[in-house]
Amino acid sequence: MAQIFPKAVNPVTRLLVLGLPMMFGATGVGLAAFYRSSYATGVDEIVPQPVAFSHAHHVGQLGIHCLYCHTSVEESHFANIPPTKTCMNCHQEIWTGADLLAPVRASYRADTPIVWNRVHNVPHYAYFNHSIHVAKGVGCYSCHGPVDDMNLTWQSKTLLMEWCINCHRNPQENLRPTSEVFNLRWQPGATADGSPQVWVRADLPNYGKNPDGTDTTEAAELLGKPRPDNQPELGKVLKELYHVRDAVTLIGCSNCHR
Ligand code: HEC
Ligand code: HEC
Ligand code: HEC
Ligand code: HEC
Ligand code: HEC
C-alpha cells in the first residue's frame, strides 16, 4: 500500500489529521480515559534503578543542592544526571564498603557510566526546556513534587499536554521568586520565625545591576522590602517582573510543537 504520509511528517500533524476525528468518536471516551490513567502516564510509579540512590537521604537529610548533581538545569533544556565521578567525590570516603554502592564503584573503576532508567518522558514531538522555566520562577517542586521525600524517584504529575497548558494559561499561580526555585518546601507568606520574606538580589532579573555596577531603580525599590505574602498578589508582581508573556501567546501550539 502506498504511504499516506511522506516519512518526514511530524507525528503531531499525523495525529491531528488521523487522530482527532477518532477522538471525537464513540470509542474516544474509553481511549481518553485510558490516556489519562496512571497506568498510561506513569504517575506515582516507582521506577527501579541499578543503584538504590535516594533523594530522601541525599537531599532531604544531607541537604545537598540540586545543582551539585543536576548542573545544567539552569542553562540547558536538559537537566543532566550526574556522572559517577560526582558520587565518588563523597563515596571514595564514606560508605566505601557498602554493598549498595558496589555498582557505583564498578562503574568508576571500569569508567563506564551507570545506566539510570528514565522516570520522566515527554514524547519527542513535544519540546520542553528546563532553563526557561527555572529563569522565570517555576520551581522544581511545581513539576516534580516532593523529591526530597523520595527514596526511588517517581513522577508526580501526568506530563500530559493538558497539564502543560493549564499552567501556561495561568502561570501566575505557579510563579515563585527565582531565589526559591530549588527550595522544595517554599510557601508564600511568613518565614518559620514569623518575619516576612523579603526581596533578595537573586530574585531580580540580571541581578538588578546597571552596567556601571549601581542598582537599577527597580532593584533599589524592591531589595530588602517584604514580598507580597499571598500567591495571587505575589504571582501578579512576579509575572511582570519576569516579563512572563500572556496566556494566549503561551498556549500557542508552536511553543511546544516546533
Ligand atoms: C547527589 C546527587 C543528586 C542530587 C543532590 C539531586 N539529584 Fe536528582 N537525581 C540524581 C540521580 C543519580 C538521578 C537518577 C536516578 C533517579 O532517577 O533517581 C536523579 C534523578 C532525578 C529526577 C528524575 C529524572 C528522570 O529520569 O526523569 C528528578 C526529577 C530529580 N532528580 C530532581 C532533583 C531535584 C529537584 C533535586 C534537588 C531538590 C535533586 N534531584 C538533587 C542525583 C541527584
Ligand atoms: C556530598 C556527599 C555525597 C554525594 C555527592 C553522594 N552521596 Fe551517597 N551518601 C552520602 C552519605 C553521607 C550517605 C549515608 C547516608 C545515611 O546514612 O543516611 C550516602 C548513602 C548512599 C547510599 C546508601 C543508601 C542510602 O541512601 O543511605 C547509596 C546507594 C548512595 N549514597 C549512592 C549515591 C550515588 C549513586 C551518588 C551519585 C549520584 C551519591 N550517593 C552521591 C553522601 C553522598
Ligand atoms: C515546568 C515543569 C518543570 C520544572 C519547573 C522542572 N522540571 Fe525537570 N522535567 C520536567 C519534564 C517535563 C521532564 C521530562 C523532559 C523530557 O522527557 O524531555 C523533566 C525531566 C527532568 C530530569 C531528567 C533529565 C531531563 O532533563 O530530561 C531531571 C534530572 C529534572 N527534570 C530535574 C529538575 C530540577 C532539578 C528542577 C528544578 C531546578 C526541574 N527539573 C524543574 C518538568 C520540569
Ligand atoms: C507550573 C507551570 C508550568 C508548567 C507545568 C509548564 N510550563 Fe512551560 N512555561 C511556564 C512559564 C512560566 C514559562 C515562561 C513564559 C514566558 O517566558 O513568557 C514557560 C515557557 C515554556 C516554553 C518556552 C516558550 C518559548 O517560546 O520560549 C516552552 C517550550 C514550554 N514552556 C513548554 C512546556 C511543556 C512542554 C510543558 C509540559 C511538559 C510545560 N511547559 C509545562 C510554565 C509552565
Ligand atoms: C505547553 C506545551 C504545549 C502546547 C502549547 C501544545 N502542546 Fe500539544 N502536546 C504537548 C505535550 C507535552 C504532548 C505529549 C503529551 C500528551 O500526549 O499529552 C502533546 C501532544 C499533542 C498531540 C498528540 C496527541 C495527544 O493529545 O496525545 C497533539 C495532536 C497535539 N499535542 C496538538 C497540539 C495543538 C493542535 C496545539 C495548539 C492548539 C498544542 N498541541 C499545543 C504540549 C503542548
Nearest CA to ligand 2 atom 43: 90
pLDDT in tens, 176-207: 999 999 999 999 997 888 899 999 999 998 77
Query: Ligand 1: does its nearest atom lie under 6 Å from the Cβ of 120?
Result: yes
Q: Which three cell numbers stand for residue 195?
A: 518575619
Is there a contact between 230 and 172 (Cβ–Cβ < 8 Å)?
no
Q: Which three cell numbers stand for residue 76?
A: 540547558
pLDDT in tens, 114-137: 999 999 999 999 999 999 999 999
Handedness of CA 170, 174, 176, 182 (dihedral sign): negative
Integer Cα distance of 131 and 166 in angstroms: 19
Nearest CA to ligand 4 atom 33: 128
Å from CA of 111 to ligand 4 middle:
37
Q: Which three cell numbers stand for residue 141?
A: 517542586
Is there a contact between 10 and 126 (Cβ–Cβ < 8 Å)?
no
Is there a contact between 76 and 131 (Cβ–Cβ < 8 Å)?
yes
Is there a contact between 163 and 157 (Cβ–Cβ < 8 Å)?
yes
Integer Cα distance of 102 and 36 in angstroms: 39
Using most ligand atoms within 8 A of CB, pick from 14, 36, 161 the residue to mutate for ligand 5.
161
Number of Cβ atoms within 10 Å of the Cβ of 8? 5
Query: Ligand 5: does its nearest atom lie under 6 Å from the Cβ of 160?
Result: yes
Q: What are the residue ranges spanned by the domains of the chain?
A: 1-36, 55-158, 171-247
Q: Considering the entire predicted model, what is its pTM?
A: 0.92
Integer Cα distance of 42 and 194 in angstroms: 39
pLDDT in tens, 133-149: 999 999 999 999 999 99
pLDDT in the model for residue 21:
44
